[in-house]
Amino acid sequence: MANTRTVTVINGDGIGPEVMAATIRVLEALKVPLEFEHKDAGAEVVAKYGTNLPHETVEAVLRSGVALKGPTGTVVGGGLPSANVGLRKRLDLYSSLRPVKSVKNVKTRYEDVDLIVVRENTESLYAGLEHIIVPGVVESLKIITEKASTRIARFGFEYAKKHGRKKVTGVHKANIMKLSDGLFLDCCRKVGREYPEIQYEEVIVDNLCMQLVRDPTRFDVMVLENLYGDIVSDLCAGLVGGLGMVPGANIGERTAVFEAVHGTAPDIAGKGIANPTALMMSAVMMLDYLDMGEEARRMENALHKVYGEGKIRTGDLGGSATTREFTDALIAAL
Ligand code: NAI
C-alpha cells in the first residue's frame, strides 16, 4: 500500500500484551495505513536475548522512527537496568509528553482537569547513575545539563504555543538543590523570555503536589526534570481516574515512542481485565504525530462515546467489562 508507515510494536511485560492486542485491533478496525513490526523488550525476553533491550529492537525503532510500546517490568533493587531508561537514552527521546484530561462519566474528585506534564527524559536521578562507594554507602548522581534543560523547556513552551495554552510552570526544588535545579530553572526562565505571550511561573515540587490535589485547574503546562516528572505524572493520573487513563509519548528529534504512563500492573496481568484506554490514547497521539489527524479524531471520539454512554468500563473505574468487551464496544463506536 502506498504511503504505509511502519510502526515498531513492543508488547512489553505484564498487561502489556493484553492492552497492546486491544489497541492494535482498534487501529486495524480504523484501517489506518500502518504496518506493524513486532519487536521484543522487557523482563520476559531476557532469557531469550540475555538483555531486556535487544539491539535489534533499538535498530527497528531507529529505522521506523515510531514505536508503540507496552510497559516493561524492572526488578526493584538489583537486576538489569531499566529497558525504558535504556530506550529513552539510546534513542535520545528527551521529552516525555503526558496530557492528563478528565473524561466524561469517569467519576473523580474533579471534572475539569486539563494538564500537560512535560518531563525531561534523559538525566537527573532517574538516569540511575549510582554506585557503591563502600559497603553501606551509595552515591547516586543527579546530572543536570544546560543543554537538556534548555531543550525540554523549549519543548514545553513550543507545545504551549502550538496548542494555545496560557501558562507554563517550571517545577523545581532549587531552594535545596540550588545548583542543579537552579540551572534547570535558569534555562526555563531564559527560554520563557522568548515566549512573552505565555505566562511563566515557578513552583517548588512539594508545593506543586499539594496544590494539584487541592485545585488542578490552577495549572496548565508543567515542565519538570525527570524524577519529579515521573512522580507528578502518577499524581496527575490519580486526578482523572488512575493509571488506566493517561497516555504518553517519548519524543526525540527523529524518533518517538508512544506508551501509557502505567507499568506492567502485575496484580492484574493475565486476567484480561486491564483498561486499554491509556495505550489507546497513546495510539491517538501517535496518529497525530504521523499526521493522521482524521483517524486520530475517529479513535478519540469513539473512546469518548464509549465513556459518554457510561455503560462499559473496566474494573479500575468501578465497572466489570473485560479488556475485550471494552475494545468490542470501542470498535462498534468507531
Ligand atoms: P503499575 O502502573 O504497573 O500499577 C500500579 C497500579 O495501577 C496497580 O494496582 C495496577 O493494577 C493499576 N494499573 C496500572 N495500569 C492499569 C491499567 N491499564 N488498567 C487497570 N489498572 C491499571 O505500577 P507499579 O506496580 O509501580 O509497577 C509495576 C512494574 O511496571 C514495575 O516493574 C515498574 O518498573 C514497571 N513500570 C514500567 C513502566 C513503563 O514501561 N513505561 C512505567 C511504570 C512502571
Give CA separation, 272 vs 157, 245, 260, 318, 334, in Å: 40, 17, 17, 15, 22
Architecture of domain 109-239: 3-Layer(aba) Sandwich (3.40)
* Extents of the domains making up the chain: 1-99+242-334, 109-239
pLDDT < 50 stretches in the chain: 1
pLDDT at 255: 97
- What is the model's pLDDT at position 77? 83
Q: Residue 253 is which amino acid?
A: E
How far does residue 186's CA lie from ligand 1's centre (Å)? 34
CATH of domain 1-99+242-334: 3.40.718.10
| Per-residue model confidence (pLDDT) at position 145 | 98
From the CA of 15, give the closest atom in ligand 1: 18
Residue with grid cell 526562565, as numbered in its chain: 189
- Kindly report, residue by residue over 30-50, the tens digit of the pLDDT: 999 999 999 999 999 999 999
Q: How far apart are CA 209 and CA 224, in angstroms?
A: 12
For a substitution probing ligand 1, which of 243, 281, 320 has the most ligand atoms within 8 Å of its CB?
243
Give per-residue pLDDT as tens, 214-226. 999 999 999 999 9
- Per-residue pLDDT at 214: 97
In 195-205, which positions are buried (b, 16+ CB within 10 angstroms) versus exposed (e)?
beebebebbbb
Do the Cβ atoms of 15 and 274 come closer than 8 Å? yes
* Whether pTM exceeds 0.85: yes
Given this chain, do its domains 1-99+242-334 and 109-239 carry the same CATH topology? yes
Three cell numbers at 55?
A: 539491539
Residue (of 257, 238, 304) closest to 277 by Cα position: 304
pLDDT of residue 318: 94
Residue of 68, 264, 277, 303 to test ligand 1 pocket, by largest number of atoms within 8 Å of CB: 264
Judge contact between 118 and 224, C-beta under 8 A: yes
